[in-house]
Amino acid sequence: MQIKVCGMRERENILALEREIAPDWMGLIFYPNSARFVSKAESLPETKLRRVGVFVNESEEEILKKVEEYGLSAIQLHGKESVDFVKGLAQKTDKEIWKVISVKDRIDWESLSGYLPFISKFLFDTATVAHGGSGKKFDWSVLESYPFDKGFFLSGGLDESSADEVLALAETIPQLEGVDLNSKFEDEPALKNIEKLKSFKKRLLGQ
């Protein structure tokens, strides 16, 4: 099970994240309306952590610019990006593309199949007007009918107490390959509580 810690921005906090948690992925938010918005590449420390850029209905040009400027390994599309948009982007980059699906109540699986050739994974998050970072969970039972082989990440309001439920879900849905941790692990926006992350990681991975 992989771990992504999202919404990172502060230098010392990022260094502590790498040292103490060493997650598989670190998320940087490039949505200007977010309290976790990152705008200065030079303020981020050098680490070995793989960076995922989070974008909401951003232009292709701007995404590709950020990929270079921030050394992104993956692009998380967290808005209403169409299959055609994702296809066009995939033709211009070899970076991973993660398509976020914002969940209200049910999921129309058929409408998602067009993304499959162009993405590395889906990421399921709770639908909210702010697009993400709501700290709200959706009803995970909608994922029980997940029909694809492609892996996905689970997101939306995961907190310290979620590890056991995640493990139980992964028993029934092996395509669940990772979790995305964000606002419930913060002391303030973009400042993660390393002790809370440590305790979650220990429960999830036993280390």
Ligand X SMILES: O=C(O)c1ccccc1N[C@@H]1O[C@H](COP(=O)(O)O)[C@@H](O)[C@H]1O
DSSP 3: E
Q: 71 vs 2, 42, 63, 95, CA distance in Å?
A: 20, 12, 12, 10
DSSP 32: T
According to DSSP, the residues that pair with 152 across neighbouring strands are 122, 176
HSE, CB side, 13 Å, CA atoms: give it for residue 97. 23
Which residue, 31 or 200, has its beta carbon nearer to ligand X?
31
* Residue of the chain from 21, 72, 86, 133 that contacts ligand X (CB under 6 A): 133
180 binds ligand X (CB under 6 A): yes
Which residue do the tokens 């211009």 mark?
A: 92
The site that binds ligand X (CB under 6 A) totals a number of residues, namely 25
Which residue, 146 or 153, has its beta carbon nearer to ligand X?
153
101 binds ligand X (CB under 6 A): no
Q: 7 vs 27, 84, 166, 192, CA distance in Å?
A: 6, 27, 21, 8
Which residue, 151 or 157, has its beta carbon nearer to ligand X?
157
* Residue of the chain from 3, 8, 21, 34 that contacts ligand X (CB under 6 A): 34
135 binds ligand X (CB under 6 A): yes
Please give the residues from 73 up to 92 whose contact with ligand X meets the rule CB under 6 A. 78
- Binding residues vs ligand X (CB under 6 A): 6-7, 27, 29, 31, 34-36, 54, 56, 78, 125, 131-135, 155-158, 180, 182-184
